[in-house]
Amino acid sequence: MRDAYIVQSVRTPGCKQKRGQFNQTRPEELASFIMKEAVDRTPNLKPEDLDDVMMGCAFPEGEQGLNLGRIAAKMAGFPDKVSGATVNRFCASGLEAIALASSRVQMGWSEVCMGAGCESMTFVPMGGNVPRPHPEYSKTNPEMYISMGVTAENVAQRYNVTREEQDEFAANSQLKAEAARDGGKFTEIVPTPAYKYVKQEDGTYKKESFIVKHDDGIRPSTPEVLGKLRTVFSAVGSVTAGNSSQTTDGAAATIIASKEKCDELGLTPIGRLVTYATVGCKSDEMGVGPKYAIPAALKQAGLTIDDIDIYEINEAFASQALHCIKELDLEKYMDRINIHGGAIALGHPLGCTGAKLTATMLANLKEVGGRYGIVSMCIGGGMGAAAIFERL
């Protein structure tokens, strides 16, 4: 297969569902903006150089329905020749999109391809607008449809992850994110226009814009304060709003080009996808997915956990992230894991998350001067995904 190089990877800030700064900004606006910015910020690249767009979206309906990959491409001003598709692997949709974009370039089907992700959990809620589980199957296999929070409680109880551990992990995530934000470490973020509708004296509404520069869900806390929060999914459980990921709106985009196109246009490679693995697991403990996917990806790449300089392990819930870290013997490398905080502080915009974490991981690899990075997450329905990237 041909070499496929990442030449750009950026994201919008992540903003809280309904209460955040993107709560009146449609998903197509977020996606098209970051896609256009990804191209504009890549020297020597023009929109007409793109062949295709893979867009990850976990709930592609409502405002982010039809074919968001194609609609956002047109809204971004890309020419008609740039095709687009929407990809759904729930929480790994954005990572799947990047993997598919890389594969297209490696196979020679595209010269320049974009892997992106977008989710507005304000406009399209978790589970979608009209969820309709299969009536007979849901009776025999209800675990395929249960709340992700219940699966997090299952992981905590089955694998003895304590409330105290979860709250400490969550507090650390918030503190790291606060320090990174204040220290200007989120270099992958592009200040993004947001919109609000302001009522005028005549009763009409005017659409006004403003710029969002930072993730707006960071709330520094302590384990003691988090310990006072009530559980959400079980009266005698340990999973709370404070040690779970935030539901979030956001978008991200990565551009992949062939070596030949890089040489022709003078594009500078910043990284490459080494390998990508997905593994299934029990649906009622879907959070354990990374403990299977990360070893699978390492085996494919011929690497070990010691070779990885940066881990971006999605913090869907502190219980599942902690369990996977322990099972993978990664506790000795906590200084390499989510070094600037994770989804508990920064949010988990579902189908965007894999694309978002890729941009963050590449920025963090550059910061620490590392070579290899992993992006991994658990996936609703019982799966795990992991991708290994190399910084060039």
Q: Which residues are catalytic?
A: 91, 348, 378
Q: Please tell me the distance from the alpha carbon of residue 116 to that of residue 78, in angstroms, as a whole number.
A: 15
The rounded distance, in Å, linking the Cα atoms of 365 and 260 is 25
Bridge partners for 4 per DSSP: 258
CA distances 163 to 21, 248, 291, 341, Å, are: 31, 24, 21, 19
Residue type, 298: L
Distance between CA atoms of residues 124 and 215, nearest Å: 20
Residues 246, 220: Cα–Cα separation, whole Å: 14
Q: What DSSP state is assigned to residue 290?
A: H
Question: How far from 168 is each of 28, 172, 225, CA to CA, in Å?
Answer: 37, 6, 10
Query: Distance (Å, rounded) from C-alpha 16 to C-alpha 343?
Result: 11
Going 387 to 268 to 27 to 193, the CA torsion angle's sign is positive
Q: Which amino acid is at 196?
A: K
The amino acid that residue 225 corresponds to is V
Distances (CA, A) of 19 to 98, 135, 195, 271: 29, 34, 14, 35
Asked if residue 249 lies in contact with residue 121, where contact means CB atoms within 8 angstroms, the answer is: yes
